[in-house]
Structure 1
Amino acid sequence: MKPLLLASLFILLYTVGSAQVINGTITDTKNELLPYSSVVVKGTTQGVSANSKGFYSIQLAPGNYTLLCQYIGYRSVEKKITLEKGKNIEINFQLELQQYSLQDVTVSNNGEDPAYAIIRKAIGKRTEHLKEIKKFTADVYLKGQLQLRDYPKRFFGQKVDFEDGDSSKRKMLVLSETIARYSVEEPAKEKVEVISTKVSGRSNSFGFSSPQIISFYNNTIQVGENLNPRGFISPIASTALSFYRYKFEGTFYENGVEISRIKVIPKRKYEPLFQGYINIVENEWRIHSLRLNLVREQQMQLLDTLVIEQLYVPAENVWVIKNQVIYPSGKIFGFDFFGSFVQVYDRFNLNPVFAKKYFDNTIIKVYDSANKKSMAYWDSIRPLPLLTEEALDYRKKDSLEQVRKDPKYMDSIDRKRNKISLGGIFLTGQSISKQKTRTFLSFEPLINTLNYNTVEGGVLHFSPTWSKRFDETSRKSLQLTPYIRYGFANQHFNAHITGSYNFGKKYFNSISVSGGRRVFQYNNAAPISSRINTYTTLLYENNHMKIYEANFFRINYSAGVGNGLTLNAGFQFQDRFGLQNLSDPVSWKNIEGRSFTPNYPADLTNAVMPRNQAALFTAGFNWRPGGKYIEIPGRKIAVGSNYPTFNFALTHAVKGFLGSDADFTKWRLSVADDLDLKLGGKLSYRGSIGGFLSAKQVFIPDYTHFQGNQTVLANDPLSGFQLAPYYRYSNTSKFYATANVEYHLNGLLSNKIPGFRRLNWFFVTGANLLYTQAGKNYYETFFGVENILKFIRVDFVQGFETNGPSPRGIRISVPLFEGGRE
C-alpha cells in the first residue's frame, strides 16, 4: 500500500505543479467575511474551504468547470469558469442570506409544528443513513489552532512566561496541519495514513492526525473525552423527541433539492443537549448541514461554548461530509482561550479495493519524513489558506526553534529556569535542567521530606531524580534516583538507588535495577503513605504503617511484543530485619482508651518478624487483546483497545538460593476494563483470582495482601477496600478472589435535582468483594458524589464481614494528599 500511496502523492504533486490557481474571497451582501465556507467543483467531492477570513484558493488543471460556493444559512452560488494554461484567475463570491419559504406549511390538527413530522422521518431514516456507506477512502486535511486572548501574570505563584519574547496577551498556543488518507470499512475498521504533518515551532512533532467525523446519525455524540463523560444527545437520536423542541423555519432549494431548516431547542437545562440549526433534505430525510452549539448549562465541562458546523455534499447515490469545523472557547484559571479545528474532506472513493490485511492493528501510520516537508510544499497543497497570524506564527516559532538550538540560548534559558526559589524549595519542589545534554534534576519540596512514625521517630528522606533523554525522537532515556533516609530516634541510616533505562524501536522496553538498604512496609505495595501515616500517628495515635528494614537487590525487565502484549520478568532478594516501636513514641494528642499498636501486623502474628532471606523470581504478562497502535517513524505507541486488560504474574521463592529461607509459589490473574454506557454512564470493574500453589515457608511480606484502608482518605477504588484493615485478610490460601465494581452515573439522576444540578456533581456507586478459601470473606458497598471541584470525591461506605463486624464510614478522595509511599 505504501508504494501506491507514494505514487498517488507524486501524481497529486505533478497535477498541482501543472495546475492553475483560482482564488478569491467569500462575503455576504454586506461584505462581511464568511469563514470556512466551501467551494467545490460541481458534480464532484473535490474542493476546498475558505479560511476564517473568507479567503479560498483551489488548484485545477486547465478546462471548464462549475464552482459551487456554499455556507450554512446562505444561498449557494454557482459560477462557470474556463481555465487556460498559464493563467491564474480570481473569482469572488457574494452570498445572500438564505430565504426560507413557508408557503406549503401545514399545521396539524393538534397544533404541532411541521418540524416534528420532518424530524420523525429523519429519525426513522437514521439507522439507514448511519450504515449506508460500507467503505470509503478520502483525502482529509486537518488544521487545529488554539489561541489565548488573555492570561494571568502568575499561576500558582509562578510567573507565566511563554519564553517567546512577546509580552502581548494574544498568543497562538497551538497550530498544526495534517494531510492524510482516511480509509474506513464497516463494521469497525479504520486506518489513517499521514502523508504530511506540521506543528508550528516543533519540527520533530506530529500534528493532529486522527480525523473524527462527528456523525449525528449516532444516538449519542462524543466530542473529545472530557467535555461530558456521557456524551451528548443527537437532535435526531431515537429518543430525541423526549429531549428537544423543534421549530420549522422554512425550506430552500439547492441544486434542485428541497431542504428544510429546523431550529433545535433543548427542552430542559442541565441535560447533555445541543441547540442551533439542522437542515434536512426533503424526501431523503438526511442531514444537509448543521450548526449546533453546546454551553455549560447543558452539562458541558471545561469549555464555555463549543460550536460544531458540518456540510455534506452528494456523491453517487449518497451524501458525504465535506467540511467539519469545531470552535471551542472558554476561560479557566484566568486563561481566556478560543480556537478552531477544521477538517476538509476530498476525493472520496466509495468503492475502494483494500489489500489483504490492509486493516491491521495500526490505526494511524505516519510515513517517513511526513514532518519534514518544506513551506513551499505546504503552500502548494493545503486546501485552506493560512491566516495572516498563522503564517506569522509559523515564521516566528520556526525561527525561534532554530534560535533555541543555539547552545548560548539554551544556557540562558537554563539559567532563568533554574533559579532557586523559596516556594520551590519548601512547597512545590525544584528542578534543574540542562537542555544541551537533555538532562534534568528534580527535588521534592522540603514539606514532603519530613515524616514521623513510631519506629524511627522523625524521618528525613531525600530522593532527587536525575534523568537524561538521549535524543528527542526515540524512547531512549535513563533515570537515576538515589534515596537516603534517616530516623532521628532510632538513628538508623538507610540508602538505596534505583536506575531505569527505557528503550525499544517499535515497542516500549524497559529495565530497572535497584539495590541497597531500605525500609519496606510488610505489604510491599505500601497500602498507606508515609505522609498520611504521619497525620494519623501524631493526631489520632493510629500507627497504621508497619515496617521492616532489608538489604535488597531487585532487577525487572519489561518488553512490548505487539498485539497488546507486554512480557515482564524480575528477580528480587531481600535480607529482612524486624523493627520494634520506640519505647515512648510521640503524639500531639492523647486519646483516652487508645494506645499505639506494635510494629507488626497484629492480625497475623504476635511478635516482630525474625530475620529471614527471600530470593524471589517473578514472570508474567500484561495483555490487552486487539491492541491498537499509532506508528510513527521508528516506533509504535499503544493506544488501547475495546477489550479488557489481563494481567498474570507467577512468583517462586527458591529455598537455599543466596541463603533464601522462603519456599513457596504463588500466582495471580486479574482482568479490568471500563465499559462506556453512553447516556447511562460508565461501568468500571476489576477482578482477580490467585493463591499459593505451595506454601512450605512463607514470611509475612510474601503473603497475599490486599489494599485495605483505615483512614478517611480513600485509596484506589478499583484495587482496594475502603474499610478493610490493612492486614486482617492477608493469607496464604490456595485460592482467593476479588471483585471491584464502580458505576459512574456521570450526571444521570443528579441533573434532575433542582439546585444540586447546578454544581455539576455526579453520583457514583459500587461494591468491593473478597473471598478467601480460609473463610475470611469481606464485602462492602458504597454510594458517593464525585466531580466536586473537578477532582474531589466523597463516598459513604458500608462494610460486611462473615461472622464479624459491619463497619461504616466516609471516604474522601483528594489527589493532593496522595504519594509519599516510602
Structure 2
Amino acid sequence: MTLNIKYLKIIILLLLPASLWAQTIKGYVYSSDNTPVPYAHVYVKHTSIGTTTDEQGRYTLKLDEGDYEIVISNLGYKTTTIPMVLYKKDQVKNFWLEPSSVEVQEIEVKAKRRDPAYDVIKKAIEARKDNFRQVMSSKSNVYIKAKEIISEREKKKREKEQQLEENAAEQKDSPLLENPEDQKKAEQQKKTAEQMKLANSMNMVEIQMERHYQYPDLVKEIRNAYEAHGSAYDLFFLNTTENNFNFYSNLISADNLNEVPLISPLNATSIISYKFRLDKTWFEGNSMIYHIIVEPRKQGNATFTGSIDIVNGSFAIRRVDLSLHKGGLLFYDDFRIKQEYELFNDTLWMVTRQEFDYFTKAGNRDFKGNTVVKFDNFEFNVSFPKRYFKNEISVTTQEAYERDSTYWDQIRPEPLTIEEQRIIFIQDSLEGARNKKEYLDSIDRAYNKVTWGDFFLWGIGNFNREKEQHIWVSGITGFINPIAMGGVRSGPDFLIFKRFKNKRYFTLYSGVNYGYRNKDVKGSASFNYMYNPRKLSRISFQAGQNFDVVQPNYSFAGMMDRTNWVLSRFASVGHSHEVFNGFYLYLSANVKRIMPIDDYTFGNFSENFVKNNVPRSFSPYNLVSLKAEIRYTPFQKFMTEPYQKIVLGSKWPTFSLSIHKGIPDIFDSKVNFDYLEFSVYQDFKISTIGTSTAKVGFGQFLNTKLMQYENYKIFPRGDKWFFSTPMQNQLQDSTLITDDKFFEAHYVHHFNGAIENNIPFFKKLKIYTLAGGNYTYIPQHEYHYYDFYYGVEKSFRIQRQRYRIGIYFVYGGSNRQLSKPAIQFSINHYGKNEKSWEY
C-alpha cells in the first residue's frame, strides 16, 4: 500500500509541470457587430495547436509562456492574425472578425446552431452544374495500376501446383540426401517453392491509355499498353467507362460494386441523407478550402462516410475521401475512394488522381485491393470528328500487349515499389520458365495425372498448353444420374476444347448413358465453332437420341411431370451472327423423330411432386422445322480487342422477333404450322428505389394445318413450393395450350434496401424485399391469369461468389377461380461476367 502511494506521488509530480506551468488563454470570437461567431478556427501559426469556437463563439487554448501569433479564421470573415505574449498567468482575450466582402456575398453566416458546412454544401450543389459543364470536351492520358495482395491462407490455396516442389525441397535435410548433387537439387527446389509463394502473393495489372471525352457522358478509350501479372479477375476499375464516380451527379451508378446507385454528397437532396460538419479550413494559394465531414443520417446501402473538400468561390470539389462498409456492396466488405482535383486554366478543376481501396474477407482468407488512376496531359475543347463517339467505347491495339519494361519505365507516373518490383521480377522469371516447352510439358503432366479426386468428383482431364487444347471426361459423380427419366442412368460425358491464337475456338461435347431399369442406351453429341469473334459468329451441330423436355421453362414439379417428356431422335444445325452492332440473327434447322415414353417403366420418386404421373400416349411422328430469330438491342456498348469484340450491354430494351416454320412431307414430316412471336425485355434502375426487370410478349399462329402437342404454345402450371423464374406464372393450377394468339406481361422489382433500411430488424439482418406480378391472356380459352408476389431475400457470399435465397408470398388466380395463396422458395446466383443476377 505504501509503495503504491509512493508511485502515485511520483506520477503526480511528473504531471504537475503540464498543469502548473501551462497558461490558459480563453475568450470569445465576435463579428464586427458583437455577434458571437460559432465554429471559428483559433490556432497558433506554424503549429498544430488549435481549437474551434463553440456555438456561443467561446474558445479555450492552453499554451506555455512565450511569444505567439494567434490566427482566427472562419468562412465569411477575413482571417485575422494577432501577436500575443503569455506570462505565468491565464489570460482572457476576445477577438473581432471583419466580414469578407467577397465571402459575405457567397455565404451568409449566422450565429445559430446549424453547422456552416450546410451553407457550403448548398452553394456547391448550386454550382455543380456549372463546374461539371465547364469542360465540353477533352483528351487526357490515363495510367491505371490495380493490384491485389493475397493473405497467407489464400496463397497456400493457390500454391497447390507447387506442392510437389515443396515436398521435394523438404527432403533436403533427410539423411538419404548424402549425394551433393541431390542436396543441390533439393536446395534449388526449395528456393523455387519460396519464389512461387512470393509470386502468388500479388496480382497486378497496369494500363496506359488515351481517354477522349465529350459532355455529358461520351467516352472513348484508346489503350496503348496493357501488362498483367497474375490474374485480373478480381481487380477493380480496369477502365474509365464502366464506373463513373462523378460526385457532381445526384446518383453514382456502379453496377459491379453496389446493389443500388450511390447518393452523392452533392445530391440535390443530400441534406435528407447526410449530416455535414465543417472540420477545418485552410488556404491553398489564394483559395480557401473547406474540409467537410460527411456522415449518413442512417446506415443504409446507398450512402458514403468520409469527407469532401470544397473550394471557396467556385465551390468546386478539391478532394474526396469517402468509404462504404458492407451495406449494399456486392463483393467487398469495405470500399474507399479518394479523388484529387487540380486547377487548370485558372477556372477548371479536373480529377487528376483516383485511388480505390477494397477489402474482402472470405472465411479465413483476406483480399486487399488497391487501384490508382492518374490523369495528365489534358487538352480542352477538342474537336472530335462527327459520330466519333458511337457505341465502341474502348479499343485495344495488338501493340498494347507487346510493350517491354523499357516502355513502362518511361510512361509510369510513379515508380513501382521495391516489393512490387521484386514480385514482378520473380513472376516474369517464372513466366519465362513457364513458357519453355519443358516446363509446359511438366505442368501438363501434373494436371493430366489422374487423382482420386479427379476420378470421383472433378473428372479426368488432359491439357496441352502449347496447343491450347483440353480433353475431359466426367468423374463418378457425373457418371451417375440417380433421378433421370426412367430411373438411374449412368455413362460418361466427354468434352474437347480447342482455342486458336486468333481467339477462334471450338467445343465438342458428347455423352452416352445406360438406363438400368429399362435396359436402354441414350446419347448425343454437339459441336460449336466460334469462327469470327469480331462478329460473334458461330455455327453448331447436334445429333443423338435422348429424352427431351417439351417445355424447358417448366417449374421444378413440371420437370418431374412425365407428360412434359418425350423420346427424341434428332439432328440439327444452327448459325448465329451479329449483322451490325446489337442486331443478331439466329437460324436453325431441325429434323426429329418424336416418340412417346409410355412403354417405359418408372419408379415412385416423382410421385412425391406430381400425382397420377402418367406419360402421354401418342403415335410417333417425324418433324422438320426451320426457325429464324432476330434480336436487337439499340446502342449496345462494346470494347474492341485485337481479335475479338466484348459486349458490355445497353440501357435500352432488347427487341426479339422469331418465326417458327413446321415443314410437311420432307422426311415424312407430320407438321405444317407457322408461328410468330414478338417480345420486349429490359432491366432498368429506378433511382435509389431499386432495380426492375420487365418483359412483354405477344405470339400468334399464322398457320395450323397440321399440329402436334409439342408444337402448341404451352403455358405450364406453377409449382407448389419452388418459386420459378419471375418471367413465368407462379400459381397457374393447370397446363394450358393454344394454337391461336396470346399476350403476356411479367414484372419484378428488387427494392435493394429502399424499404427495409427503414425497418431496424430488417436493416441489421441485411434482408431485402422484392415485389412483382404476372399476367397472361389467352383469347382462345377466354382465359385471364394474374398473380402478385412479395418476398424477402437474403444475399450471402461463398468463396467470393454471391448467392441470394428468397421466401415469397404469392397470391393470384384467373377469371375462372382464385388460387390458394402460397409460400414459395428460391435460390439465385450473381454472375460476375454478366454483372447481374439470374433474375
**TM-score, normalization by structure 1:** 0.78
Structure 1 111/528 Cα, relative in aligned 2: closer, same or farther at 3 Å? closer
For structure 1, the residue ranges without an aligned partner over 5 or more in a row are 1-72, 74-98, 537-542, 601-607
Mapped pair 1:793 → 2:806: yes
SS at match of 1:394: helix
Of 124-133 and 650-659, more deviation after overlay is shown by: 124-133
Mapped pair 1:478 → 2:506: yes
Task: Report what 2:826 is aligned to.
Answer: 813
SS at match of 2:736: coil
Structure 1 160/334 Cα, relative in aligned 2: closer, same or farther at 3 Å? farther
Structure 1 130/528 Cα, relative in aligned 2: closer, same or farther at 3 Å? same
Structure 1 690/678 Cα, relative in aligned 2: closer, same or farther at 3 Å? same
For structure 2, the residue ranges without an aligned partner over 5 or more in a row are 1-47, 49-70, 78-96, 98-107, 166-191, 797-802, 832-839
Q: How does 1:626-641 map to 2 (within 5 A)?
A: 626-641=635-650
SS at match of 1:130: helix
1:169 positional shift? 7.7
Structure 1 815/318 Cα, relative in aligned 2: closer, same or farther at 3 Å? closer
Q: How does 1:446-525 map to 2 (within 5 A)?
A: 446-451=476-481, 456-471=486-501, 474-523=502-551, 525=552
**One-letter amino acid of the counterpart of residue 220, structure 1:** L
SS at match of 2:313: coil
SS at match of 1:580: coil
Task: Report what 2:348 is aligned to.
Answer: 318
Distance 1:652 1:134 in 2: 52
Task: Report what 1:575 is aligned to.
Answer: 593
Structure 1 124/792 Cα, relative in aligned 2: closer, same or farther at 3 Å? same
SS at match of 2:332: coil
Task: Report what 2:664 is aligned to.
Answer: 655
1:453-490, Cα deviation, whole Å (9 max, x unpaired): 6962333353222211123xx33111111122322222
Distance 2:397 2:577 in 1: 24
1:116 aligned to 102, 115, 118, which one?
Answer: 118
SS at match of 1:386: coil
Task: Report what 1:765 is aligned to.
Answer: 771
Structure 1 294/728 Cα, relative in aligned 2: closer, same or farther at 3 Å? same
1:127 aligned to 109, 126, 129, which one?
Answer: 129
- 8 Å CA contact 1:100–1:249 kept in 2: the answer is no
1:87-107, Cα deviation, whole Å (9 max, x unpaired): xxxxxxxxxxxx994584997
SS at match of 1:555: strand
Distance 2:339 2:164 in 1: 34
Q: Which has the higher contact order (CA 8 A, sep 6+)?
A: 1
Task: Report what 2:676 is aligned to.
Answer: 667
1:515-564, Cα deviation, whole Å (9 max, x unpaired): 121211233x36357xx779x6xxxxxx4563221221100001122321
Identical-pair percentage: 24
Task: Report what 2:203 is aligned to.
Answer: 174
1:197 aligned to 223, 226, 239, which one?
Answer: 226
Query: Which of structures 1 and 2 has the bigger CA Rg?
Result: 2
Q: How does 1:510-589 map to 2 (within 5 A)?
A: 510-523=538-551, 525=552, 527=554, 543=561, 546-580=564-598, 582=600, 585-587=602-604
2:246 aligned to 204, 212, 215, which one?
Answer: 215
1:764 positional shift? 0.8
1:301 positional shift? 4.1
1:253-309, Cα deviation, whole Å (9 max, x unpaired): 11211111111122222352212221111121111112122222x543432322211
How many residues are paired up? 695
1:613 aligned to 622, 644, 655, which one?
Answer: 622
**One-letter amino acid of the counterpart of residue 758, structure 1:** K
Task: Report what 2:789 is aligned to.
Answer: 782
Distance 1:360 1:481 in 2: 38
Distance 2:662 2:570 in 1: 15
When the two chains are superposed, the root-mean-square deviation of aligned CA atoms in Å is 3.3
1:267 aligned to 271, 275, 297, which one?
Answer: 297
Task: Report what 2:615 is aligned to.
Answer: 599
Structure 1 130/729 Cα, relative in aligned 2: closer, same or farther at 3 Å? farther
- 8 Å CA contact 2:300–2:757 kept in 1: the answer is yes
1:752 aligned to 758, 782, 785, which one?
Answer: 758
1:658 positional shift? 1.5
- 8 Å CA contact 1:616–1:651 kept in 2: the answer is yes
Structure 1 590/234 Cα, relative in aligned 2: closer, same or farther at 3 Å? closer
**One-letter amino acid of the counterpart of residue 658, structure 2:** A
Mapped pair 1:329 → 2:355: no
**TM-score, normalization by structure 2:** 0.77
Structure 1 723/400 Cα, relative in aligned 2: closer, same or farther at 3 Å? farther
Structure 1 750/201 Cα, relative in aligned 2: closer, same or farther at 3 Å? closer
1:233 positional shift? 1.5
1:91-132, Cα deviation, whole Å (9 max, x unpaired): xxxxxxxx9945849973431111111111112222332333
1:672-729, Cα deviation, whole Å (9 max, x unpaired): 11112231111111121112111111111111124554252333323x223335x712
1:575-619, Cα deviation, whole Å (9 max, x unpaired): 111121656x4336987x98532202xxxxxxx121111100111
2:731 aligned to 707, 719, 723, which one?
Answer: 723
Structure 1 594/758 Cα, relative in aligned 2: closer, same or farther at 3 Å? closer
SS at match of 2:357: strand
Distance 1:507 1:348 in 2: 34
- 8 Å CA contact 2:488–2:516 kept in 1: the answer is yes
**One-letter amino acid of the counterpart of residue 753, structure 2:** G
1:349-394, Cα deviation, whole Å (9 max, x unpaired): 2210112232222110112311111111110111121112222233
Q: How does 1:388-467 map to 2 (within 5 A)?
A: 388-444=418-474, 446-451=476-481, 456-467=486-497
Distance 2:723 2:562 in 1: 14
Structure 1 783/154 Cα, relative in aligned 2: closer, same or farther at 3 Å? farther
Structure 1 149/201 Cα, relative in aligned 2: closer, same or farther at 3 Å? closer
- 8 Å CA contact 1:478–1:500 kept in 2: the answer is yes
Structure 1 436/815 Cα, relative in aligned 2: closer, same or farther at 3 Å? farther
Distance 2:270 2:820 in 1: 45
Of 753-762 and 439-448, more deviation after overlay is shown by: 439-448
1:813 positional shift? 2.0
**One-letter amino acid of the counterpart of residue 270, structure 1:** G
- 8 Å CA contact 1:616–1:652 kept in 2: the answer is yes
SS at match of 1:668: strand
Structure 1 156/805 Cα, relative in aligned 2: closer, same or farther at 3 Å? farther
Distance 2:292 2:484 in 1: 71
- 8 Å CA contact 1:150–1:170 kept in 2: the answer is no
**One-letter amino acid of the counterpart of residue 185, structure 1:** Q
- 8 Å CA contact 2:587–2:627 kept in 1: the answer is yes
1:147 positional shift? 1.1
Distance 1:548 1:158 in 2: 46
- 8 Å CA contact 2:211–2:219 kept in 1: the answer is yes
Distance 1:707 1:158 in 2: 48
Structure 1 265/420 Cα, relative in aligned 2: closer, same or farther at 3 Å? same
- 8 Å CA contact 1:261–1:279 kept in 2: the answer is yes
1:388-415, Cα deviation, whole Å (9 max, x unpaired): 2222233222232222222332232233
**One-letter amino acid of the counterpart of residue 776, structure 1:** Y
Structure 1 100/636 Cα, relative in aligned 2: closer, same or farther at 3 Å? farther
Task: Report what 2:719 is aligned to.
Answer: 710
- 8 Å CA contact 1:457–1:582 kept in 2: the answer is no
